[in-house]
Amino acid sequence: MIDNGKTGPKLCISIRLIKPFLTLLSTYEGLLTDVIDYLQKLDLDDRVPIEWAHKQLEIAVKMSGDPDIGLKAGRTFELGDGGAFDYAAQSAATVQEAIEVASRGVRLLSDACDFRLEIDSEQAIVRLESRIVLPRAAADFQSSLIYSIHQQIQGGEVPLLEWWFPHAKPSDTTEYRNTFSPAKVRFSAPCLGFAFDKNYLGVRMRYAEPKLHAVMRKHIEMLLAELPRTTSLLMDSVKDIIVKELVHGRPSAAVVARRLHMSSRTLSRKLQEEGTSFSLLLDDVRRKLALKYVGDCDLKLSETSALVGFSDVATFYHAFKRWTGQTPLQYRQLQAEKL
């Protein structure tokens, strides 16, 4: 039996988004055959935990030796594969309305993905934000799929279109050119997403149909209401990144937001909605690690101070006394006496 992680409410992804990978991975002999067989038996509207799906994707990339699986799978996505989501977007009146309905309906396909439209003096920017850290192949897939569907609906070139990827430029960018040409591809970008001439937002959709669009929007709201509630993994994801970044010094909200493919402002807003903040989460992580290192380890206090991201021991002492009412030495002595 395959452990797909279904142990409770989690962020999930629709089989509709996994289907392109099943088709592609089936061409690799002997690759994840048990997983593929299991997933192919599920209904298109069934859902599996995203973290489990990403784990299988990372295994597939490693076993195949193909880092561009996400780009290739996204190109195979056809209009209609996304169900109600696709039809609501394509029947919208304008490009901007299509983006707005996509931002509302995307949870039908993924609990973790979010569309954010920003408009400045010249550009429109769509940020593809995620509530969990995306493997490169998953980020590539999202972008490739969106571009492929847009081309199938609208066709032609989008003025001043740029596709943004937060990861570093790969040694071989052939598949990026094959996927997004003639658009510009930008690596080490501020976020995952795409930018284009803001005037394109007003362009009429080729398949605009007001009556159908109204029906599809109502249908999407009905489907969204039927989805199971999910637990938020944002705080856990932020804490995990903080732990990993502490070895490099005190992590900033900007660094964590970048790892989560969202802006610092969005991260702050989402954490505020969940009743917390980056500074509170950072303080909580440092406190727990400090208690563990001071109480359980033989590390020098100067080493512990560095491990939890303090630049000097004096500042660490001050923080530790605020957390416990004791100095690190007093706390260590008391823990030793309990043994």
pLDDT tens for residues 95-144? 999 999 999 999 999 988 888 898 888 899 999 988 788 899 999 999 99
- pLDDT the model gives residue 231: 53
pLDDT band at 233 (very low <50, low <70, confident <90, very high): low
One domain for residues 183 and 77: yes
Domain that holds residue 108: 66-226
* Nearest C-alpha neighbor of 116 from the set 105, 127, 104, 107: 127
One domain for residues 146 and 244: no
CA distance 251 to 318: 19
Q: Does residue 307 surpass a pLDDT of 70?
A: yes
* Nearest C-alpha neighbor of 28 from the set 60, 56, 58: 60
Residue 142: inside a domain, yes or no? yes
Residue 57: inside a domain, yes or no? no
- pLDDT the model gives residue 81: 94
Residue 107: inside a domain, yes or no? yes
Cα angle 227, 146, 62; round to 5: 85
Of the candidate ranges 74-83, 87-96, 184-193, 264-273, the one whose mean pLDDT is the lowest: 264-273
CA distance 88 to 212: 8
* Mean pLDDT of all residues in 161-183: 95
Number of folded domains in the chain?
2
Pairing type for strands 162-164 and 184-186 reads parallel
One domain for residues 307 and 217: no
Of the candidate ranges 2-6, 26-30, 206-210, 238-242, the one whose mean pLDDT is the lowest: 2-6
**Domain end residue (candidates: 202, 226, 250):** 226
One domain for residues 213 and 132: yes
Residue 34: inside a domain, yes or no? no
Q: Could you give the 3-state DSSP secondary structure of residue 113? A: strand
CA distance 324 to 21: 50
Q: What percent of the chain has a predicted confidence (pLDDT) above 70?
A: 94
- CATH assignment at residue 307: 1.10.10.60
Q: Does residue 6 surpass a pLDDT of 50?
A: no
Of the candidate ranges 54-68, 130-144, 146-160, 284-298, the one whose mean pLDDT is the lowest: 284-298
One domain for residues 191 and 240: no
CA distance 82 to 141: 14
Residue 160: inside a domain, yes or no? yes
One domain for residues 79 and 129: yes
Q: Does residue 202 surpass a pLDDT of 60?
A: yes
One domain for residues 93 and 213: yes
Residue 121: inside a domain, yes or no? yes
Cα angle 173, 177, 180; round to 5: 130
* Mean pLDDT of all residues in 173-183: 96
One domain for residues 164 and 281: no
**Domain end residue (candidates: 226, 254, 270):** 226
Q: Does residue 2 surpass a pLDDT of 70?
A: no
One domain for residues 266 and 121: no
**Domain end residue (candidates: 200, 226, 252):** 226
Residue 47: inside a domain, yes or no? no
